Structure 1
Amino acid sequence: MPIGVRIFLVYFLFVGLAGWFVLSTVMDEIRPGVRQSTEETLVDTANLLAEILRDDLKSGRLAQGRLPELLKAYGQRQPQAQIWGVEKSAVNHRIYVTDAKGIVLLDSSGVALGQDYSRWNDVYRTLRGEYGARSTREDPQDEDSSVMYVAAPIKDGQQIIGVVSVAKPNRSLQPYIERSQTRLTWLGTGLIALGLLVGGLLSWWLSGSLRKLTRYAQAVSQGQRAELPTLRGGELAQLAEAVQKMRTELEGKDYVEQYVHTLTHELKSPLAAIRGAAELLEGEMPAEQRQRFVANIASEGARLQQLIERLLNLALVEQRQGLEEQVPVPLRELVDEALHSQAVRIEAAGLQIDNSVEPHLSALGERFLLRQALANLLDNALDFTPPGGLLRFAAQLDGAQLELSLYNQGPAIPDYALARLTERFYSLPRPSSGRKSTGLGLNFVQEVAGLHGGALQVGNVAGGVRVSLTLPSA
């Protein structure tokens, strides 16, 4: 299972359980919270009524006063109030008053007048000087039919002469409870969903960054050219830099070791030739023969110099992971420069040159590397073109790619050599001298093409050989 999925599942489990626990706890607290607030209001109302009713109860004028009419009128009121989206169209309070023995003297509902309420908890506890409250179901089978009663003592000095109770059915609170629960459910669900979305994005970003690093490490292990991914996020960026540093150090060590072995092997032959010629020159010999050995030493010295220069150029491009610049490079101008640098050799061989590259075609890349790559292709073509032969440069645009081709008239490349032409130090004998080159030219061109995101192709065509270099178009 990918690490991003595992992180998301752990995050999902944590956020889901935490959200469910918090939401469930808050939902369970809504109902008692609303009822506690209502009870607190009933306490204030009961105590206010106790002060208002004290004088009438003390004088025995409670039933003859205006209070029964006021309570009746109160019960018929229709507030038409909009409270947090819930319409209140009727009053819900029931008020009754008892004397010091618990006998109901006044009842706003009119159903309990004259009854003995002394055993009801609200009246019983209040007459004893305690806080009196009770909750009683109107229908024993319906838990939603409970009514909350809160009482307050009516005092004459320190003597309790009666009790006033204020009641409110819990059913009237239900719309507010349900509305709060609904809003909280939507809000909680939204917050959990948002948390999971953030967790998903975090997991996707983290796993994406790790995938980039993994692909980079795999490309490095396969010897491919790859750029270090750009990562943000502290430790990930440090990890990427550490991987890059490790790669540079390991590749540098392996590269130096490989090149030392390669250079040692390639230097053996020319050094042996120079040493042999030098030993022979120590003895007496005809001037003509001496001149031939001196020429051999000069030739092998030039070969060594060429080998070292090409190895350095090849090492330059092999160790690079990207281009230092990307500018439009006119191809016709580049071809003209390469032909001009080989003008003496071309004239000496009497070669025919056809530069068919359109002036408006330009490749996007690093001019220095492209010039060196083209010089290697031309140098290789000149080695295999017979005197009086034809060299033809052409270019064509194919979408975002530009193909530069070089045709040289001459012998076909053997089938066994076609697949190995770009191998380092692999070379075919030159028709003019029978000697091999350094075998680094086409390998260098292939590396330059790879740096530009292009490709090199070499193949036989009618009457000669065609080399094509694919590059990004400017």
Structure 2
Amino acid sequence: MPLGVRIFLVYFLFVGLAGWFVLSTVMDEIRPGVRQSTEETLVDTANLLAEILRDEVKAGRLQQSRLPAMLQAYGQRQPQASIWGVTKTQVNHRIYVTDAKGMVLLDSTGAAVGQDYSRWNDVLLTLRGEYGARSTKEDPNDPDSSVMYVAAPIMDGARIIGVVSVAKPNRTLQPYIERSEQRLAWLGGGLIVLGLLVGALLSWWLSVALRKLTRYAQAVSAGERAELPSVRGGELAQLAEAIERMRTELEGKAYVERYVHTLTHELKSPLAAIRGAAELLDGEMPGEQRQRFVANIGQESARIQQLIERLLHLAQVEQRQVLEEQVAVPLRALVEALLQAQMARIEAAGLRIDNLIDAELCARGEVFLLRQALANLLDNALDFTPSAGLIRFSAKATGSRIELLLFNQGAAIPDYALTRLCERFYSLPRPGGGRKSTGLGLNFVQEVVQLHGGELQVGNVEGGVQVRLVVGRA
């Protein structure tokens, strides 16, 4: 299982459980919280009514007062109030008054007048001087039919002369409870989803960064050219830099060792030829023969110098992971400059040159490297094109890429050599002498093309050999 998925699952489990616990706890507190607030309001209302009713109860004229008619009118009112999105269309308080013995003197519903309420907790406890309250179901089989009763004493000095009770059905609180629960459920669910989304994004970001570093490490271990990925975040950025430093150090050690072995192997042959010629020159010989050995020493020395220069150029390209610059490079002008530099050799061999590249076509890349790559390809074409033969440059744009073609007349490349042309130090004998090159030219061109994100192909076509080079278009 990927690390990012594991992190998200742990995060999901933690956020989900924490969210569920908090949400369920708060939801469980909504109903008692609303009822507690309502009870507090009923206490205030009951005590206010106790003060209003005191004189009438003390004088014993409660039934003859205006209060029964007022309570009846109160019960018929239709407030049409909108409270937090809930419309209230009727009043829901029930108010009854009992004397000091618990007998009902006044009932806003008119149903309990004359009944003995002394055993109900609201009246009983209040007459004892305690806080009187009770909750009673109107229908024993209906848990939602409970009614909350809160009482307050009617005082005559220090003596309790009666009790006023205010009741409110709990079902009238249900719309507010349901609305609060619904809003809380939406908000809580939204926060949980948002938290999970943040966790998913964090896991995705971490997974993407780790996959970039993993692909980079795999490419480096496979010997491929790879650019250090851009990774944000303190520890991840430090990890990327550490991997890059490790790659540089390891590649540097292996690179130096490989090139020392390569250079040693390739220098054996020309050094042996120079040493042999020098030993022969130490003795007596005809002038013509001496001149031939001196020429051999010069040729082998030039070969050593060319080998070293080519290796240095190749090393510079192989060690680079990215281009130092990416500019528009006019291909026709670049090829013209290379042809002018080789004009003496071209005229001496009587070669025909066709530069069919459109003047407006521009490649995107590093001028110096593209010039060196095309110079190597032109050298090979000049080596293998017979006198009076044709060399033709052409190019075409295909979307965001440019396809450059270099054709030269000449013998076809042997089948056994086609797959080895870009190998380091592999070279075919040149026509008219059998001399071989350093075998680094096409290898260098391939490295340059790969550095530019392109591709190189060399193959036989009708009448000669064609090199196909693809790079980005400016």
CA displacement 1:11-63 (0-9 Å, x = unmatched): 11111111111111111111111100010001011111111111221122222
d(CA) in 1 for partners of 2:434, 2:101: 136
Report what 2:371 is aligned to.
371
d(CA) in 2 for partners of 1:103, 1:411: 129
CA displacement 1:355-395 (0-9 Å, x = unmatched): 22222222111111111011101111111122222222222
Report what 2:414 is aligned to.
414
- Give the AA of the match of 2:378: L
d(CA) in 1 for partners of 2:85, 2:395: 77
- Give the AA of the match of 1:215: R
- Give the AA of the match of 2:360: H
Counterparts in 2 of 1:52-71, with a 5 A limit?
52-71=52-71
- Give the AA of the match of 1:138: E
d(CA) in 1 for partners of 2:145, 2:394: 97
Report what 1:125 is aligned to.
125
SS class of match (1:396): strand
Report what 1:357 is aligned to.
357
- Give the AA of the match of 1:285: M
Q: Higher mean Cα deviation, 218-227 or 399-408?
A: 399-408
Report what 1:227 is aligned to.
227
- Give the AA of the match of 1:70: M
d(CA) in 1 for partners of 2:358, 2:149: 101
Shift of 1:420: 0.3
d(CA) in 2 for partners of 1:358, 1:62: 113
d(CA) in 2 for partners of 1:353, 1:175: 93
CA displacement 1:343-363 (0-9 Å, x = unmatched): 222222222222222222221
Report what 1:168 is aligned to.
168
Report what 1:81 is aligned to.
81
- Give the AA of the match of 1:340: Q
Shift of 1:462: 2.4
Counterparts in 2 of 1:40-51, with a 5 A limit?
40-51=40-51
d(CA) in 2 for partners of 1:22, 1:336: 77
Counterparts in 2 of 1:252-263, with a 5 A limit?
252-263=252-263
Shift of 1:99: 1.3
d(CA) in 1 for partners of 2:151, 2:396: 101
Shift of 1:174: 0.9
Q: Higher mean Cα deviation, 213-222 or 264-273?
A: 213-222
Shift of 1:92: 1.0
Gaps of 5+ in 1: none
CA displacement 1:393-427 (0-9 Å, x = unmatched): 22222232222222222222111111100000001
d(CA) in 1 for partners of 2:453, 2:166: 88
Quick check: 1:8 aligned with 2:8?
yes
d(CA) in 2 for partners of 1:422, 1:246: 29
Quick check: 1:347 aligned with 2:350?
no
Quick check: 1:72 aligned with 2:62?
no
d(CA) in 2 for partners of 1:410, 1:184: 84
Counterparts in 2 of 1:15-164, with a 5 A limit?
15-164=15-164
d(CA) in 2 for partners of 1:44, 1:268: 111
d(CA) in 2 for partners of 1:384, 1:75: 114
SS class of match (1:277): helix
Counterparts in 2 of 1:188-207, with a 5 A limit?
188-207=188-207
Counterparts in 2 of 1:207-222, with a 5 A limit?
207-222=207-222
Counterparts in 2 of 1:396-435, with a 5 A limit?
396-435=396-435
TM-score, scaled to structure 2 = 0.97
d(CA) in 1 for partners of 2:221, 2:59: 104
Shift of 1:246: 1.1
d(CA) in 1 for partners of 2:136, 2:358: 101
TM-score, scaled to structure 1 = 0.97
d(CA) in 2 for partners of 1:53, 1:265: 120
CA displacement 1:208-247 (0-9 Å, x = unmatched): 1111111111211221111111111211111111111111
- Give the AA of the match of 1:399: G
d(CA) in 2 for partners of 1:343, 1:357: 18
Q: Higher mean Cα deviation, 197-206 or 309-318?
A: 197-206
d(CA) in 2 for partners of 1:411, 1:95: 118
Report what 1:468 is aligned to.
468
SS class of match (1:465): strand
Quick check: 1:385 aligned with 2:392?
no
d(CA) in 2 for partners of 1:144, 1:355: 96
CA displacement 1:429-458 (0-9 Å, x = unmatched): 112221211000011111111111211111
SS class of match (1:152): strand
d(CA) in 2 for partners of 1:113, 1:462: 121
d(CA) in 1 for partners of 2:358, 2:51: 109
**Aligned residue pair count:** 474
Q: Higher mean Cα deviation, 229-238 or 397-406?
A: 397-406
d(CA) in 2 for partners of 1:164, 1:421: 110
CA displacement 1:140-180 (0-9 Å, x = unmatched): 11111111111111111111111111111111111111111
d(CA) in 1 for partners of 2:233, 2:416: 52
d(CA) in 2 for partners of 1:84, 1:461: 85
d(CA) in 2 for partners of 1:146, 1:455: 84
SS class of match (1:316): helix
Aligned-CA RMSD value: 1.3
CA displacement 1:244-284 (0-9 Å, x = unmatched): 11111111111111111001100111111111112222222
d(CA) in 1 for partners of 2:138, 2:335: 104
d(CA) in 1 for partners of 2:345, 2:385: 11
Gaps of 5+ in 2: none
d(CA) in 2 for partners of 1:191, 1:143: 33
Q: Higher mean Cα deviation, 126-135 or 48-57?
A: 48-57
Report what 2:271 is aligned to.
271
- Give the AA of the match of 1:166: V
- Give the AA of the match of 2:72: K
d(CA) in 1 for partners of 2:441, 2:389: 21
d(CA) in 2 for partners of 1:390, 1:170: 103
Q: Higher mean Cα deviation, 382-391 or 27-36?
A: 382-391
SS class of match (1:284): coil
